[in-house]
Amino acid sequence: MFDFVIIGGGIIGLLTAKELQNNGANVAIIEKSSVGQQATWAAGGILSPMRPWHYCDAVNAISSISQSIYQQLSNELLEETGIDPQWVLSGMLILNDDDMASAINWCKANDDSHTLLSTAELATQFSHLKTLHEPALLRPNVATIKPHKLLAALTDYLTRKGVTFFNNHARLLVDNKNTVTAVQLNNRAVKAEQYIICGGAWSSQLIPSSVEQPDISPVKGQMICFPPTHIPSLCMVMDGNRYIIPRKDGRVVVGSTREHTGFDANTTQQAFNELRDFAQQLYPALTDVEPDTHWAGLRPATPNSIPYICRVEPYKNLSLNAGHYRNGIVTAPASAQLMADILLNKKSHLDPNPYKITRQTS
Ligand SMILES: Cc1cc2nc3c(=O)[nH]c(=O)nc-3n(C[C@H](O)[C@H](O)[C@H](O)COP(=O)(O)OP(=O)(O)OC[C@H]3O[C@@H](n4cnc5c(N)ncnc54)[C@H](O)[C@@H]3O)c2cc1C
């Protein structure tokens, strides 16, 4: 019998397990495919909402707490496992924002370091970009992390700390007294005091039909990556819904699409071409280089992008930590802390109300 069984081995499940395990609990994670191979694996690893001024306070609050934790988390994982999640203070350059005044006001109000660079300054400081005809906003304190490395480090860390992993599709068994009695796997049932659904885009499929349903749906995102190229800056560049993340090893990640195609996570030639053309146009150095990797993942979308981090009432022993949409990497540490605070009856730094299933959304 475990203290906690977590269903879903993406970033949210893994960090929730870490929080609970650090509090002395006996934790198991059940993952239907390989750990971290779904949305988390697909992510770019930008440690900020792309444009925080477009998000509500509930999203920015968990994002901002997480941003203050990430460097330390990355160092801790490196020290404990020898695997470097590659936290890099790369900075973020935002081009062609249609609402630059709101962006600057948001930065000022939130003490977020920023500079509006003139076209002349851009030509000097970002000479590897195409000629830009409008000023752009630089946020130098935005970091990135490499999701594949973060996943590898976290999995290794949790294994060393004694967290149990089951590789199986999970189904909840419930009685008629609003209690989960076990999680059914193919060949056995696993029991715990408390069960936590961290199933990303699939989370709604696990919620008992008798209770109020969370609104979580899949939104596909496709990404491509160029082989190592010499780009003399690690600064991310955002342009509309597209972005470029230069990695330390010289590879260049380009994202992303936003597609409502249900649970279909196939890649398409059209998206490949669009992302490649966008990158080659912005970075002339990529003109004669072909991307060598192309992948897709399913983001767990919710109304207003606010995740559900709460008990599933009236169930006595069922909770939900899911629905982080485009910000699941950056918001994961604070989401896991809030989930653990709720489960361990601790006072949280965050107001839990905006993250409940019963919240009001406009
Ligand atoms: C292309 C793309 C780019 C992104 N870029 C960024 C970014 O730069 N920054 C950022 O902050 N966020 C980004 N995101 C969003 C982020 O990746 C997600 O919000 C986050 O990974 C969600 O994590 P998760 O653990 O909830 O979901 P997942 O990583 O999808 O994990 C859920 C897991 O639950 C498992 N599961 C589901 N049902 C069951 C079941 N019945 N039994 C057992 N296991 C089950 C699944 O197999 C899966 O492994 C991006 C997403 C995409 C797709």
pTM (predicted TM-score): 0.97
* pLDDT band of 230, cuts 50, 70, 90: confident
Q: Computed from CA positions of residues 132, 137, 140, 143, in that sequence, does the dihedral angle turn out positive or negative? A: negative
Q: Is the CB of 294 under 6 A from ligand 1?
A: no
pLDDT of residue 96: 83
In the CATH scheme, what architecture does the domain 2-80+147-213+304-355 have? 3-Layer(bba) Sandwich (3.50)
pLDDT of residue 362: 56
**How do beta strands 2-7 and 192-197 pair?**
parallel
CATH superfamily of 89-143+217-301: D-Amino Acid Oxidase, subunit A, domain 2 (3.30.9.10)
- Residue 143 has φ and ψ, to the nearest 5°, of -110, 170
Which of 299, 318, 335, 355 for mutating ligand 1's site (highest number of atoms within 8 Å of CB)?
Answer: 299
For residues 298-307, give the mean pLDDT.
97
Q: pLDDT above 90 covers what percent of the chain? A: 94
Q: Per residue in 32-42, pLDDT tens?
A: 999 999 999 99
Host H or E run for residue 10: none
Question: Distance, CA 11 to ligand 1 centroid (Å)?
Answer: 7
Domain boundaries, the chain: 2-80+147-213+304-355, 89-143+217-301
CA dihedral 266, 216, 171, 15 (to 10 degrees): 90
Terminal CA-to-CA distance of the chain, rounded, Å? 41
311 is written with which tokens? 């008990």
Is the per-residue pLDDT at 151 higher than 80? yes
pLDDT of residue 231: 87
Which residue bears the tokens 């029991």? 191
Q: Is the CB of 29 under 6 A from ligand 1?
A: no
